[in-house]
Structure 1
Amino acid sequence: MTVYFIGAGPGDPELITVKGQRLIRQCPVIIYAGSLVPPAVLEGHSARTVLNSAELHLEQIIDAMRQAHAEGLDVARVHSGDPSLYGAIGEQIRHLRALGIDYQIIPGVTATAASAALLGCELTLPDVAQTVILTRYGDSSPMPPGEQLADLARHGSTLAIHLGVKHLPRIVDELLPHYGATCPIAVVHRATWPDQDWVSATLADIVERVAEKGFRRTALILVGHVLGDAPFSESALYRAGHAHLYRQGH
Structure 2
Amino acid sequence: MIHFVGAGSGAPDLITVRGQKFLQEADVIIYAGSLVNPELLNEKKEGCKVYNSATMTLEEVLDVMFEAEKDGLMTVRLHTGDPCLYGAIREQMDVLDEKGIVYDYCPGVSSFCGAASALNLEYTLPDVSQSVIITRMAGRTPVPEKEEIASLASHHATMVVFLSTGMLEKLSERLIAGGYTKDTPAAIVYKATWEDERAFVCTVGTLAETAKKNNITKTALMIIGDVVTHSHYNRSELYNPAFTTEFREATK
Superposition TM-score tier, normalisation by shorter sequence: over 0.9
Between the aligned partners of 1:32 and 1:190, the Cα distance in structure 2 is 18
Tell me the secondary structure at the aligned position of residue 73 of structure 1: coil
| Conserved? CA contact 2:163–2:220, under 8 Å | yes
Matched residue, 1:57? 57
State the alpha-carbon separation in 2 of the partners of residues 86 and 204 from structure 1. 26
What are the within-5 Å matches in structure 2 for residues 12-31 of structure 1?
12-31=11-30
One-letter amino acid of the structure 2 residue matched with residue 196 of structure 1? E
What amino acid is aligned across from residue 240 of structure 2 in structure 1? R
Structure 2 counterparts to residues 44-123 of structure 1, below 5 A: 44-46=43-45, 47-123=47-123
Structure 2 match to 1:151: 151
1:200 matched to which residue of 2? 201
Q: How far does residue 242 in structure 1 lie from its aligned partner after superposition?
A: 1.5
What does residue 223 of structure 1 align with?
224
Deviation at 1:207, TM superposition (A): 2.1
| CA deviation string 1:70-118 (max 9, x = no partner) | 1111111100000111001011001100010111110111111001100
What is the count of residue pairs matched by the alignment? 249
Q: 1:176 maps to which residue?
A: 176
Match of 2:133 in 1: 133
Q: What is residue 31 of structure 2 aligned with on the other side?
A: 32
Identify which range, 122-131 or 64-73, moves more after superposition: 64-73
Q: Which residue of 2 aligns with 1:247?
A: 248
The SS at the match of 1:207 is helix
The CA distance in 1 between the partners of 2:145 and 2:241, in whole Å, is: 45
Is 1:3 matched with 2:6? Answer: no
Task: Tell me how far 1:197 sits from its aligned partner.
Answer: 1.4
Describe the SS at the equivalent of 2:209: helix
Larger mean CA deviation between 206-215 and 28-37 belongs to 206-215
Is the contact between residue 165 and residue 216 of structure 1 (CA under 8 Å) also seen in structure 2?
yes
When residues 210 and 103 of structure 1 are mapped into structure 2, their CA distance, relative to the original with a 3 A threshold, is same
Partner SS, residue 4 of structure 2? strand
TM-score of the two chains, using structure 1 as the length reference: 0.96
Q: Deviations over 1:32-60 (max 9, x none)?
A: 11111121112131152111111111111
Q: Is the 8 A contact 1:124 1:130 kept in 2?
A: yes
TM norm structure 2: 0.96
- Percent identity, aligned pairs only, is 39
Structure-1 separation of matches of 2:38 and 2:96: 26
Following the alignment from structure 1 to structure 2, what is the Cα–Cα distance between the partners of residues 210 and 29?
Answer: 38
How far, CA to CA, are the matches of 2:66 and 2:35 in structure 1?
24
**Of 87-96 and 199-208, the range deviating more from structure 2:** 199-208
Secondary structure of the residue aligned to 1:187 is strand
Residue type matched to 2:123 in 1? L
Q: Distance in 2 between matches of 1:86 and 1:236?
A: 35
Unpaired runs of 5+ residues, structure 1, are: none
